[in-house]
């Protein structure tokens, strides 16, 4: 992988999107005392950083910060066929956007093959591993026979006591203990015990010479002095195997915490069909990183009825022991509510900066119109995402092609023609385009026609905004500008004329 290039991309992205000012401390493996809490996030670069991975990273990050430890990012790219540089970049960008900064890494497993092979050779020399040349056909037959007998499929140790020619194609298997049990106290699920007779002799080096996941992870966790392994519960079955490997190598066994899966609202495991699952897709759809983090921390953990947490509160209050064992259900509506909270409460200057690229996607240059910060202050109560905020604010910067059908049907009726025409005439005569003067024009028109304020204001509002949500009409019109307002009222009059 292009480590230097990935690091550069990460830093460039950080300068644009990072919502917290932390800096990366890019150091080598730490030589601190083993008592220091050290966690790791170890994604495989075979796709984007998904929501489940982001929650795992967040929980590991929070546990580390709470205990003053160090957070390590490791890229587990031993799957040479599926791992891509594009996926690595997506992971780095996702971590940066979320603000989950790491003290060490990213480290790449593909750069450590020599180290893994060194460990495998040690296991071979001690008789704790052996060569196996069983064919795929034999292994398939074995599996079928075991399943027919309703026995859990596992390797039968055929090559344990055979001399396999190292010059011929073969794999290396770990000699798993035959008796006893693996017992560990999971930080989330409590005590777990697995009999060794249920575990087979797993492959630790493939026939092409590449190390397998379980071997690489064990060596990395030991070398990087990882004290707490926090990961999804789909790895529970790997844990006893990895503990046996650690014991065979006489290495410290970290504490493990396995997080429950995340489900879609239909009860199935969260996937693409439930909507956005990629972290960066949420950025594209106008979510704020702190909103996604706030939502993710509540997926499986809670603190009373509190819904909104600052990052400092998350660090102070989070406890792995309080994580639920049951799966959590992803609720997009709740995420939208949290996102709206942050859009409404955050610094409008920052929201304006984040909104600008979304306006750009609508071919709008926010410098050619009213101050974007002012638009944010007026509109942000009405939007749940930055994409929505951009859409409902577009009328401040450019004319719209069509009126909102529902709004036009209600407000742009033939009966509104007289009011629009009179307002337009008086607006054109204004020497100063200030909200007070605009309000006076509308008020005078109401008095002249002897109608309710809404009979004048509603048609004017739809005429100048197209039907988009907007604040006080006079302020809205002041920001849009005189020429644009007059042009749009003419468009509304033409619309009404065509109805006659």
Lowest-confidence segment of 11-25, 35-49, 458-472 by average pLDDT: 11-25
Q: Are strands 129-132 and 171-174 parallel, antiparallel or unpaired?
A: antiparallel
pLDDT at 433 > cutoff 60: yes
Q: If we measure between CA atoms, which residue out of 326, 338, 78, 327 comes closest to residue 213?
A: 78
Q: If we measure between CA atoms, which residue out of 304, 345, 301 comes closest to residue 325?
A: 301
d(CA 434, CA 477): 9
pLDDT at 119 > cutoff 80: yes
Q: If we measure between CA atoms, which residue out of 99, 103, 91, 100 comes closest to residue 26?
A: 103
Q: What pLDDT does 79 receive?
A: 84
What does pLDDT average to over the chain? 91
Q: What pLDDT does 276 receive?
A: 60
Is 33 among the catalytic positions?
no
Tell me the residue ranges of DSSP E strands in 368-491.
none
pLDDT at 357 > cutoff 60: yes
Confidence band (pLDDT; 50, 70, 90) for 31?
Answer: very low
Over residues 9-33, mean pLDDT: 39
Share of the chain above pLDDT 90, in %: 87
Over residues 215-224, mean pLDDT: 97
Lowest-confidence segment of 127-131, 274-278, 300-304, 477-481 by average pLDDT: 274-278
How many Cβ atoms are within 10 Å of 496's Cβ, its own excluded?
Answer: 20
Q: What pLDDT does 307 receive?
A: 95
Instruction: Look at phi and psi of residue 159 and say left if phi exceeds 0, alpha if psi is from -120 to 50, else beta.
Output: alpha
Tens of pLDDT, residue by residue over 223-241, are 999 999 999 999 999 999 9
Tell me the residue ranges of DSSP E strands in 242-307.
255-259, 262-263
Tens of pLDDT, residue by residue over 161-171, are 999 999 999 99
How many Cβ atoms are within 10 Å of 421's Cβ, its own excluded?
Answer: 16
d(CA 219, CA 246): 8
Q: What pLDDT does 4 receive?
A: 42
Over residues 201-226, mean pLDDT: 96
Q: What pLDDT does 64 receive?
A: 97
Confidence band (pLDDT; 50, 70, 90) for 490?
Answer: very high
d(CA 275, CA 255): 34
pLDDT at 12 > cutoff 80: no
Read off the pTM: 0.87
Tens of pLDDT, residue by residue over 256-289, are 999 999 998 777 887 666 666 789 999 999 999 9
Rounded to the nearest 10°, the torsion over CA 295, 65, 350, 355 is -40
Q: What pLDDT does 27 receive?
A: 37
Q: What pLDDT does 273 receive?
A: 62
pLDDT at 5 > cutoff 50: no
Over residues 359-380, mean pLDDT: 96
pLDDT at 32 > cutoff 80: no
Over residues 471-486, mean pLDDT: 96
Cβ within 8 Å of residue 490, ≥6 positions away: 424
pLDDT at 7 > cutoff 50: no
Q: What pLDDT does 270 receive?
A: 78
Between 29 and 437, name the one with better pLDDT: 437
pLDDT at 42 > cutoff 50: yes
pLDDT at 22 > cutoff 70: no
Q: What pLDDT does 272 receive?
A: 60
Tens of pLDDT, residue by residue over 76-102, are 998 888 889 999 999 999 999 999 999
Candidate list 126, 152, 272, 409, residue with the active-site label = 272
What sign results for the dihedral spanned by CA atoms 376, 382, 384, 386?
Answer: negative
Q: Which two tokens stand for residue 288?
A: 């704020």
């Amino acid at each position: 992988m292009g480590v230097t290039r990935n690091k550069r991309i990460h830093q460039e992205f950080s300068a644009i999107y990072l919502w917290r000012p932390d800096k990366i401390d890019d150091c080598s493996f730490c030589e601190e005392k083993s008592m220091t809490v050290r966690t790791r996030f170890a994604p495989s670069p075979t796709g984007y950083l998904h929501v489940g991975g982001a929650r795992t990273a967040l929980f590991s990050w929070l546990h580390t910060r709470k205990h003053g430890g160090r957070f390590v990012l490791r890229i587990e790219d031993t799957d040479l066929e599926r791992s891509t540089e594009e996926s690595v970049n997506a992971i780095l960008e996702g971590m940066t956007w979320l603000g989950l900064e790491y003290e060490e890494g990213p480290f790449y497993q593909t750069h450590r093959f020599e180290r893994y092979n060194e460990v495998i050779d040690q296991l071979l020399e001690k008789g704790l591993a052996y060569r196996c040349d069983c064919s795929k056909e034999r292994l398939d037959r074995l599996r079928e026979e075991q399943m027919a007998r309703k026995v859990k499929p596992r390797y039968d140790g055929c090559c344990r006591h055979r001399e396999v020619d190292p010059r011929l194609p073969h794999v290396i298997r770990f000699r798993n203990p035959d008796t006893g049990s693996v017992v560990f106290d999971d930080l989330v699920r409590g005590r777990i015990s697995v009999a060794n007779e249920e575990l087979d002799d797993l492959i630790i080096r493939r026939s092409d010479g590449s190390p397998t996941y379980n071997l690489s992870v064990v060596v990395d966790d030991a070398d990087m002095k990882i004290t707490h392994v926090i990961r999804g519960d789909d790895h529970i079955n790997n844990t006893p195997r990895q503990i046996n490997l650690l014991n065979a190598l006489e290495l410290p066994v970290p504490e493990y915490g396995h997080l429950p899966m995340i489900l879609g609202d239909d009860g199935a495991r969260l996937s693409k069909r439930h909507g956005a699952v990629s972290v960066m897709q949420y950025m594209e759809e106008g979510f704020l990183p702190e909103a996604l983090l706030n939502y993710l921390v509540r997926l499986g953990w809670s603190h009373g009825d509190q819904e909104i947490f600052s990052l400092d509160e998350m660090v102070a209050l989070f406890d792995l022991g309080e994580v639920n064992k049951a799966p959590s259900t992803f609720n997009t509506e709740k995420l939208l509510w949290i996102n709206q909270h942050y859009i409404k409460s955050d610094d409008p200057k920052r929201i304006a900066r984040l909104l600008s690229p979304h306006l750009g996607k609508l071919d709008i240059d926010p410098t050619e119109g009213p101050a974007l910060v002012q638009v944010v202050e007026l509109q942000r109560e009405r939007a749940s995402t930055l994409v929505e905020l951009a859409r409902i604010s577009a009328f401040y910067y450019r004319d719209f092609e069509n009126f909102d059908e529902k709004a036009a049907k209600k407000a742009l009726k033939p009966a509104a023609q007289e009011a629009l025409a009179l307002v337009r005439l008086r607006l054109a005569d204004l020497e100063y385009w200030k909200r007070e003067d605009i309000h006076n024009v509308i008020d005078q028109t109401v008095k002249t026609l002897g109608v309710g304020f809404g009979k004048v204001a509603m048609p004017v509002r739809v005429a100048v905004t197209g039907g988009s949500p907007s604040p006080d009409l006079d302020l809205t019109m002041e920001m849009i500008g005189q020429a644009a307002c007059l042009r749009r009222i003419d468009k509304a009059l033409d619309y009404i004329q065509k109805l006659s």
